[in-house]
Amino acid sequence: MLRTKQLTKSFSRQEKTFEAVDHVDFSLDKGEFCILTGPSGCGKSTFFHLVCGITKADSGEIFFNGEDITNYSEKQLTELRANKVSYILQGDSLLSNFTVLENICLPHKLCGRYEGLEEKAMELLREFGLDTMAYDYPSNLSGGERRRVAIARAFVHGPELVVADEPTSDLDEENTAMIMDYFQRQAAEGKTIIISTHDLSCIRPDMIHYVMKKGVITRA
């Protein structure tokens, strides 16, 4: 479902160029639940930005469901992210002037998707223990609550692939387990999920574990 061939992205700092993502060959099949670990600065977020089309690679190729998306236009990438590929940002990503429910639904409504959306959003809020907060603004929520809202937003429209950058970084143990259970169930139902984390206790036996080091990804 997702495949990269020799994917490379370089950055420059203090006149030195380095490969943040260095000739990465990577593949994920439908329904796989994959975890990417590695030290801070090894290139995890950069890799995720490349596969979601947020950043353009310098070289290499990306295939989604067998289709070469490497040279997709911005419009095609936006469409792909609106329908099939959800990306959960590492940092805070909610819009402060919109309620929790609006934050979950708005991006999808802008794509013309209305039917059953709010019901599904409320269902997810209930599942994530946030249903009493649907009409609150993000500033009235804790970091972990905001994180769960971002996760609900990524799943509400039933995407095929979810790329989540440290989705449990501000969650306590109980909520981490709850979110990991949710991911696992979604993968069992056929969604493909890749997450990055520094929390090795997240790793479960049925996950595929990859490690990134200085831009290079290998199977753990």
Ligand X SMILES: Nc1ncnc2c1ncn2[C@@H]1O[C@H](COP(=O)(O)OP(=O)(O)OP(=O)(O)O)[C@@H](O)[C@H]1O
Which residues of the shown chain bind ligand X in the complex (CB under 6 A)? 11, 13, 20, 38, 40-46, 90
Task: Supply the minimum distance, in Å, between the C-beta of residue 162 and Mg ion.
Answer: 16
Give the one residue of 4, 45, 70, 186 binding Mg ion; rule: CB under 5 A. 45
Task: Supply the minimum distance, in Å, between the C-beta of residue 189 and ligand X.
Answer: 28
**At 143, which amino acid appears?**
G
Identity of the residue, 17 or 73, whose beta carbon is nearer to ligand X in the bound complex: 17
Task: Supply the minimum distance, in Å, between the C-beta of residue 98 and Mg ion.
Answer: 25
Site string for Mg ion, 119-138 (x = CB under 5 A): --------------------
Identity of the residue, 100 or 162, whose beta carbon is nearer to Mg ion in the bound complex: 162
Task: Supply the minimum distance, in Å, between the C-beta of residue 36 and Mg ion.
Answer: 10
**What is the residue-wise DSSP string for 177-197?**
HHHHHHHHHHHHTT-EEEEE-
Element containing residue 108 per DSSP (H, E): helix 100-109
Q: Is 4 in the site for Mg ion (CB under 5 A)?
A: no
Strand boundaries in 48-207, DSSP class E: 59-64, 67-68, 85-88, 161-165, 192-196
Total interface residues for Mg ion by CB under 5 A: 3
Strand boundaries in the chain, DSSP class E: 2-13, 16-28, 33-37, 59-64, 67-68, 85-88, 161-165, 192-196, 208-213, 216-219
Contact positions vs Mg ion (CB under 5 A): 44-45, 90
